Amino acid sequence: MLACGTHIHVQPGETLFHQGDRAERCFLVLGGRLRLSKLHEQGKEVILRYLGPGELVAALAACRGADYLGTAQAVEPTELMSWDRETIEELMLTHPPLVHSLLQPALDRMNDIQSRYLELCAEQVAGRLARALLRIMEHAGRKTEAGITIDFPLSREDLASYVGTTLYTVSRTLSAWEKKGWIVSGRERIVITNPHALMEFAEGY
Amino acid sequence: MLACGTHIHVQPGETLFHQGDRAERCFLVLGGRLRLSKLHEQGKEVILRYLGPGELVAALAACRGADYLGTAQAVEPTELMSWDRETIEELMLTHPPLVHSLLQPALDRMNDIQSRYLELCAEQVAGRLARALLRIMEHAGRKTEAGITIDFPLSREDLASYVGTTLYTVSRTLSAWEKKGWIVSGRERIVITNPHALMEFAEGY
DNA sequence: CGACGCATTGACAGGGCTCAATTTAAGTGG
DNA sequence: CCACTTAAATTGAGCCCTGTCAATGCGTCG
C-alpha cells in the first residue's frame, strides 16, 4: 500500500508547493522540517506552522482537489513520502477507517490556529512569543545539557512571522529573557534553559 | 437516514455547547444563526465564526470524540438537527462518500481562520473591519432597498470580538464610514450601502 | 580575511487601547 | 401613551506598546 507513494527530497530553502496551486498531491514528512507559510498581498509573510517527522501535509486539500492553503518550504534537508489525489481517494473508499488518520491531525491543526488566533487578539507580543517558544519546544525540542534546544534554524524574523510582530520586538524581548536566564540564544538558534519560568510568564499574562 | 437525527430549538442567548466539553453530538443548522466563540483565560472573548442555515457544527470533533473547540450560542431563534457520535461513525463507515461532505466544510473553515490570522498579523483595524463586514455580508447579507442588510443582531462589541479590537475603535471607524455614505448603522444593525467602496478600501490597505 | 546576513540597540512617532462622561435608542410597566 | 430603566453607542483625552527607521555589532562562510 505504502509502496504506491513516491519518495521526495527537498533541500533547505526549496519550495515543496505554493499557496494557491492546485493540490494534486499530499505528503508525509519522514525526516527534516517544513515551514508552512501564507503570504499577504502587501508582501508580509506569516508562518502558519512547522511540520516535522510523522506529520501529514495538505491531506485535506489533496482529498478535495482544492488549492494549497499555504506555501511549504524546507528549513532543513527534508525527506518525504508523497501520494497523488487518485491514490488517496481510492484508499479512502476502500479503507474507510483511514479517514480517522486524516481527521485527527486536521482537528489538531484547527485547534492550534484557533488558539493562536485567540492569543493574537487577547495578548500582547511578549505573551504570544512565550507561548510560541513553548509550542515549538514541545514540537521540536531536544534535551541537551544546557536546556531544551530547538533543533532547527529559527531566526528572529521567523519568530516574528510566527507570532505576528517584527523582528525588532522579538530581539528586544529575547534579550530581556536572556538577561533573566530563561533562554540562551545565538544566530538562528535558541535554547530554553528555564521552561517553567516561561510557562509561568505566559500564564500570568 | 436523516430520521435518526433529533430536532433541537435554541433561543437567543442560549448556549448549545461549551468549549472544552466532550463532543458527543454534532449539529446541522436548519434556520437561525449561531455564534461560535472562544474564551481567553483573562476573560476576553473572540468570535471564531457565525453559522447559518445549511452549515455543519462540530462535525469533526464529534467524529473523533474530542472536545468542542469553542462555545456555540444562538443569536436568533435557531432550529437544528443533531446526531450523536455513534450514528455519525456508523454512517461514515457504511457510506464512505459521506466523508467528502465533512471534509469540504472543514477545509473552508481552515481557510477562513488562516486568512483571518494572516489579516490580523498584516493589517490594521480598519482594513480588518472592512473585510469582516464583507465576509459577514457574503454569509448573511439580505438585499434591501437601502443596500445589503446584515440580517441578524450585530453589536459594535460583537464586531470588535470578531476582528480583534475594542468596541470603541469599531464605533469610531463605523462612524467615519457612515459619514462617507458607505454604510448605515443602528443599534445592533448594519446596512452596507456601498459594498464596492468597502472592497476597494480593504484591497488598497 | 573580507563580506554578507543576522542580531542588537536607540530614538521617535503613531495607532489604538483605556477610562470616563454623555447621548441615543429600545424595551417595560404603570 | 408616556415616564422610566437599561443597554448600546458615541466621543474626547491621555498614554503606552510596538512598529518604523537608522546605525552598529558580530558570527559564519566562502
Is the pLDDT at A202 greater than 60? The verdict is yes
- Provide the pLDDT confidence category of residue A3 given band limits of 50, 70 and 90: low
Please report the pLDDT score of residue B4 as a whole number: 74
* Residue scoring higher pLDDT (B149 or B42): B149
Phi and psi (nearest 5°) for B60?
-60, -50
Q: In which residue are the cell numbers 530581539 written?
A: A171
- Provide the pLDDT confidence category of residue A39 given band limits of 50, 70 and 90: very high
Please report the pLDDT score of residue B197 as a whole number: 96
- Provide the pLDDT confidence category of residue A150 given band limits of 50, 70 and 90: very high
Strands A78-84 and A25-31 come out as antiparallel
Please report the pLDDT score of residue A99 as a whole number: 85
- Interface contact B42-A109, CB threshold 8 A: no
A84-139 residue pLDDT tens: 999 988 888 888 788 888 899 999 999 999 999 999 999 999 999 999 999 999 99
CA distance B146 to chain A (A): 32
Evaluate if the CB of B166 falls below 7 Å from strand C.
yes
In the predicted model, what is the mean pLDDT of residues B45-60? Answer: 96
- Give the CA B111 to C1' C2 distance in Å: 47
Q: For chain B, say whether A48 makes contact (Cβ under 8 Å).
A: yes
CA distance A194 to chain B (A): 23
Chain C bases near protein Cβ (<7 Å):
5-11, 15-20, 25-26
d(C-alpha A123, C-alpha B139), whole Å: 29
DSSP state of A67: B
Nearest residue to A25 (alpha-carbon basis) of A14, A33, A17? A17
Q: For chain A, say whether B104 makes contact (Cβ under 8 Å).
A: yes
B90-132 residue pLDDT tens: 888 888 788 888 899 999 999 999 999 999 999 999 999 999 9
- Provide the pLDDT confidence category of residue B204 given band limits of 50, 70 and 90: confident
- Strands of B34-39's sheet in order across: B15-17, B71-74, B34-39, B45-51
CB pairs under 8 A between A and B: 113
Evaluate if the CB of A125 falls below 7 Å from strand D.
yes
Residue pair B21/B29 in contact (Cβ under 8 Å)? The answer is: no
Residues whose CB falls within 8 Å of the CB of residue B137, separated by 6 or more in sequence, listed in order = B148, B150, B192, B195
Is the pLDDT at B135 greater than 80? The verdict is yes
Mean pLDDT of chain B, nearest integer: 94
B24-49 residue pLDDT tens: 999 999 999 999 999 998 889 999 99
- Give the CA A124 to C1' C30 distance in Å: 51
- Interface contact B38-A111, CB threshold 8 A: no
A92 CB neighbours in chain B (<8 A) are 96, 99
In the predicted model, what is the mean pLDDT of residues A72-92? Answer: 93
Please report the pLDDT score of residue A101 as a whole number: 86
- Interface contact B40-A118, CB threshold 8 A: yes
pTM of the model: 0.95
Residues whose CB falls within 8 Å of the CB of residue A81, separated by 6 or more in sequence, listed in order = A2, A5, A6, A7, A8, A27, A28, A30
Please report the pLDDT score of residue B205 as a whole number: 60
- Give the CA A21 to C1' D9 distance in Å: 45
Please report the pLDDT score of residue B2 as a whole number: 53
Least CB–CB distance from A60: residue in B70, B103, B205: B103
Is the pLDDT at B146 greater than 70? The verdict is yes
Phi and psi (nearest 5°) for A36?
-100, 120
In the predicted model, what is the mean pLDDT of residues B189-204? Answer: 95
Please report the pLDDT score of residue B99 as a whole number: 85
B155-168 residue pLDDT tens: 999 999 999 999 99
In the predicted model, what is the mean pLDDT of residues A54-75? Answer: 95
Is the pLDDT at A32 greater than 60? The verdict is yes
Please report the pLDDT score of residue A1 as a whole number: 52
Please report the pLDDT score of residue A200 as a whole number: 95
Please report the pLDDT score of residue A4 as a whole number: 73
For B91, the grid coordinates are 454512517
A42-54 residue pLDDT tens: 889 999 999 999 9
- Give the CA B135 to C1' D9 distance in Å: 23
Please report the pLDDT score of residue B3 as a whole number: 52
With b for 16 or more beta-carbon neighbours within 10 A and e for fewer, the B157-183 pattern comes to bbbbbbbbbeeebbeebbeebeeeebb
Is the pLDDT at A9 greater than 70? The verdict is yes
Mean pLDDT of chain A, nearest integer: 94
DSSP codes, B1-17:
-GGGSEEEEE-TT-EEE
